[in-house]
Structure 1
Amino acid sequence: MPSEYAGRRITGAGLGVSGVPAARAPRGLGAHVTVVNGSDGERQRAEAAELEALGVTVHLGDGDTLPEGTELVVTTPGWKPTSPLFQAAARAGVQVIGDVEVAWRLRAEQGRTPAPWLAVTGTNGKTTTVRMLAAILEAAGLRTVAVGNIGVSLFDVVLGDVEYDVLAVELSSYQLHWAPSLRAHSATVLNLAPDHLDWHGSMEAYAADKGRIYEGNEVACVYNVADPATEDLVRAADVAEGCRAIGFTLGAPGPSQLGVVDGILVDRAFVPNRQRQAQELAEVADLVSDAPHNIANALAAAALARAFGVPATAVRDGLRAFRPEPHRMEPVATVDRVHFVDDSKATNTHAAQASLAAYRPVVWIAGGLAKGATFDELVSASAERLRGVVLIGADRTLIREALERHAPHVPVVDLDRTDTGAMSAAVQAAVGLAEPGDTVLLAPACASMDMFTNYNKRGEAFADAVHALVAGRAEHE
């Protein structure tokens, strides 16, 4: 049966990790694909050459003009809904969808039963939860893979030769905005905090896009008991008949919840008698970290796995086997009894607050691009933990002003630098503030693009600076 994309004139908005597969897939199915991209650098030219070899037309340096004859626009996640290209599409009556939406539609075209999606979103913890979920599913003997916003293309999985039993899918608010027909087996919104408001326009719009993950859920909508906004999104969703609301909590669980009792992860949702029974899943000691947000992520992953029918033993075995990705509360080194931890992935205030809550006392390295965030709540909640603060990046003044209001006693080193070499200076400044037993924590609460390509590069710069410190100490011993 021919694909719905065969012969259609499709315009792809953007290149990069998402854009190249999003153009390649419909082209391989017989579509006429043109990609537009505003920037015209060395990387973009290399990606354009790759696509042009497949018969895709690429226009670099012009991301605003809608190619004549366009019947459908497929966008990469980062393009704002207000982009001139999309305004032109609206005037022409052309639908705009995202790469996730294309992959969702294609899954039904492959002549086999599509693998169900267990979907994860939230302001923080998405990647960790999805990888925990995949580890649990694998421990149950299921063919699975962690895909989506995690960096593994959904197209490679949907169009590949492997027939998976189930997919663990990470989805960003950007991707959900452009995926109107997505219907997951079960899904979770881990938490909600202000983030990407410059893209969405308001907290209400951001939350609404996150909430799209619950639309049409078949078995379970998993929410965070400690974050009532996530339960509100469940209540607002139009789900399949019989779909259940399942909560997770760091306290003792009630019926239809997963929680923690005496250091044990417990299920009172997927048991024969929710009023009287509880199933032990794992111990907190089985987790790689007992930080509160890590336990919450494990409970959410366990809830999704249990919704898919995974036995309790697989939850335990999967959580024991799981190891986190780099730059997520990653210990780097200990120097003169001062611990250095890289949480460069803490790109917003909610993530930074969770990170700061795991250590005491802390010398905090922070700053970057604020993305419209404010820092009063973060600083107020964390002030008593702070030994000192080192600020870098374009929007560091916002953090400094919050510190002046809520933690005036905390010494602050304000490095008026946005060059990549500033990280080495920041580590040196942090050493000057730290005392034995302290943790120097890179948890920027900001995006990285003012100084680094991405948060990975920022974390690597931090680790390099710490390792240079270690080497310097060794030379003087």
Structure 2
Amino acid sequence: MRISQLDALAARGGRIALWGWGREGRAAYAALRAARGAGAAMSAPSSGERPASTAALPLTVFCAPAEADEVRGLGDSALSVETEASAERLARFAVVIKSPGISPYRPEAVAAAAQGTRFIGGTALWFAQRAAPGGIAVGTVCVTGTKGKSTTTALLAHLLRSAGLPTALAGNIGLPLLELHDAQADAWAIELSSYQTGDVAASGVRPDVAVVTNIFPEHLDWHGSEQRYVEDKLALVTRARPRIAVLNAADPRLAALTLPGSEVRWFGRADGWHLRGDVLYRGDVTVLDTAGLPLPGRHNRGNLCAVLTAIEALGIDAAPLAAAATGFVPLPHRLQALGTRDGVTWVNDSISTTPHATLAALEVFAGHRVALLIGGHDRGLDWQAFADAMQTRAPHAIVTMGGNGPRIHALLAPVARACDFALAEAGDLAAAVAQARATLGGDGVLLLSPGAPSFGAYRDYTARGRHFAELGGFDPDAITAIPGLGIG
């Protein structure tokens, strides 16, 4: 659905609403107003500017009570505010533009949809505006996956820019697409979460290239089940039908896919971009020793294979660009070395929200004396495979914390007794850090790789990572900026 179609719908009496007033919601509001001509100078509401005109598309915003005054303060007479998004209220609207964090599987959304309300996201609106002949959004590379999608997307933008191609870096990585609704670029590196992949399919516009790094269970509370999580994640390639799908040959779920209507290119396979030890190959041709790249862990260097495959899918010779990865600036909260304090190296991997991600982090520091902090919001993920791995791959110490901390601690207790590693539990991050430091005694790596979301204790993984930095005496502002967002 295009923004112009929303205007036509409103002209026929159809009501339009926004659900959610986070950054995505504010971006959708600003894009709708700008498209209507109600002040092209109207930037996102957070800028403090007021609308240039009130002759605008009538809108209702469903937001939290604490946000209502901010919305009303915009001075937009065509904007109404509601603080209760019940099924009955949502069903009054023909279209609801929903923020990604709000699940369409919530009972009130399901009930409203059954009565005819259409739920779409800002990603769908952006793609609908980008259709070219053949229904393809030319130059778009969408990246998803349970882990590695942010690094892959940022690295893709970095290498394309190194080739002199004006490239946008946007999406789930920290810049909503609708904040760039009228921007132009030759290439678009777009990160999509499992909350957004279905929006691409719903837009009716095909991505030029779609990359899937891997699939592991996550976000089960949003999706409702592991099966639906996998289906929603894979919607980017199964339902959105990209021109070319770039898939990880080492992932069993991806390796089993058949995608009629899309060309499939594999990475991590001997006939394409892959690693042999630390050495990067294109088929049988040696390209680069990756050991010195600023990509900690073999899984991150595998992301380089995904990026180079995607670049080739755009019709660009990728081999000469591989060396430009040496200039990549790693993203914050992803195996981020903050520094050393009193003999202890602090590593912030707050982005880790699955047990699999924590295992990957431990692999990076194999051979080091590590105290690991795990636990957080309980999404119901199974930690048994992690516990099994600790029989042979346990660090020096593990400290559990957060909502699922007691459950993980109980699972690990018999393993710790049998395999002789230190196991402790703490109520929060500060207490966990104190216990971990005590076990290290001034020698080793203090690794925050929680394997669980931050909800409840923190607003998001960024806030958790910032607090971890503060506990170590590091400047949280200096470690959180994401380089390269926007067009460059």
Q: What's the TM-score once normalised by structure 1's chain length?
A: 0.85
Q: CA deviation at 1:263?
A: 3.4
Partner of 1:471 in structure 2?
Answer: none
Partner of 2:405 in structure 1?
Answer: 396
SS of residue paired to 1:174? coil
Do 2:151 and 2:303's aligned partners in 1 also have CA atoms closer than 8 Å? Answer: yes
In 2, Cα distance between equivalents of 1:82 and 1:217: 23
Residue type of the partner of 1:375?
W
Residue type of the partner of 2:431?
A
13 and 158 in structure 1: CA distance in 2 versus 1, 3 angstrom threshold: same
Residue in structure 1 matching 2:266, options 241, 247, 262: 247
The percent of aligned pairs where both chains have the same amino acid is: 28
Q: CA deviation at 1:310?
A: 2.4
In 2, Cα distance between equivalents of 1:454 and 1:262: 35
In 1, Cα distance between equivalents of 2:465 and 2:345: 15
Note if 1:372 corresponds to 2:380: yes
In 2, Cα distance between equivalents of 1:61 and 1:93: 19
List structure 1 segments (4+ residues) > 4 angstroms apart after TM superposition. 216-219, 278-281
Partner of 2:351 in structure 1?
Answer: 345
Partner of 1:467 in structure 2?
Answer: 473
Residue in structure 2 matching 1:211, options 234, 248, 259: 234
Q: CA deviation at 1:354?
A: 1.0
Aligned residues: 438
Residue in structure 2 matching 1:381, options 382, 389, 393: 389
Partner of 1:40 in structure 2?
Answer: 65
445 and 261 in structure 1: CA distance in 2 versus 1, 3 angstrom threshold: closer
Do 2:370 and 2:395's aligned partners in 1 also have CA atoms closer than 8 Å? Answer: yes
In 1, Cα distance between equivalents of 2:247 and 2:131: 28
Residue in structure 1 matching 2:186, options 165, 170, 179: 165
Do 2:130 and 2:205's aligned partners in 1 also have CA atoms closer than 8 Å? Answer: no
Do 1:10 and 1:70's aligned partners in 2 also have CA atoms closer than 8 Å? Answer: yes
Structure 2 spans left out of the alignment, 5+ residues: 37-56, 475-488
Q: CA deviation at 1:352?
A: 1.3
Structure 1 spans left out of the alignment, 5+ residues: 269-277, 469-477
SS of residue paired to 2:104? coil
Q: CA deviation at 1:369?
A: 0.4
Partner of 1:407 in structure 2?
Answer: 416
Partner of 2:47 in structure 1?
Answer: none
Note if 1:139 corresponds to 2:139: no
SS of residue paired to 2:197? helix
Task: Quote the RMSD (CA, aligned, Å).
Answer: 2.5
Q: CA deviation at 1:300?
A: 0.9
Residue type of the partner of 1:246?
R
Residue type of the partner of 2:261?
V
List per-residue Cα deviations over 1:100-152 (Å, max 9, x = no partner).
1111112249xxx9542101111111111100000011011111111111111
Residue type of the partner of 2:295?
S
Residue type of the partner of 2:206?
R
Residues 215-364 of structure 1 correspond to what in structure 2 (within 5 A)? 215=238, 216-232=240-256, 234-235=257-258, 237-240=259-262, 243=263, 245-249=264-268, 253-255=269-271, 257-261=272-276, 263-268=278-283, 278-360=284-366, 361-364=369-372
Q: CA deviation at 1:64?
A: 4.1
Q: CA deviation at 1:228?
A: 1.2
Partner of 1:175 in structure 2?
Answer: 196
In 2, Cα distance between equivalents of 1:81 and 1:67: 12
In 1, Cα distance between equivalents of 2:175 and 2:365: 32
Note if 1:448 corresponds to 2:457: no
Q: CA deviation at 1:407?
A: 3.2
In 2, Cα distance between equivalents of 1:209 and 1:369: 22
Do 1:357 and 1:382's aligned partners in 2 also have CA atoms closer than 8 Å? Answer: no
118 and 404 in structure 1: CA distance in 2 versus 1, 3 angstrom threshold: same
Residue type of the partner of 1:239?
G
Residue type of the partner of 1:185?
D
Residue type of the partner of 2:298?
P
List per-residue Cα deviations over 1:224-259 (Å, max 9, x = no partner).
222111223x41x3434xx1x22222xxx422x210
67 and 291 in structure 1: CA distance in 2 versus 1, 3 angstrom threshold: closer
212 and 201 in structure 1: CA distance in 2 versus 1, 3 angstrom threshold: same
Do 1:26 and 1:33's aligned partners in 2 also have CA atoms closer than 8 Å? Answer: no
Partner of 2:32 in structure 1?
Answer: 26
In 2, Cα distance between equivalents of 1:312 and 1:280: 13
In 2, Cα distance between equivalents of 1:10 and 1:149: 24
List per-residue Cα deviations over 1:174-231 (Å, max 9, x = no partner).
1113432342111121111110111212211111111111145454322222211122
List per-residue Cα deviations over 1:288-346 (Å, max 9, x = no partner).
03411111111111111121122235532431221111111111222343322110111
Q: CA deviation at 1:434?
A: 1.3
Q: What's the TM-score once normalised by structure 2's chain length?
A: 0.83
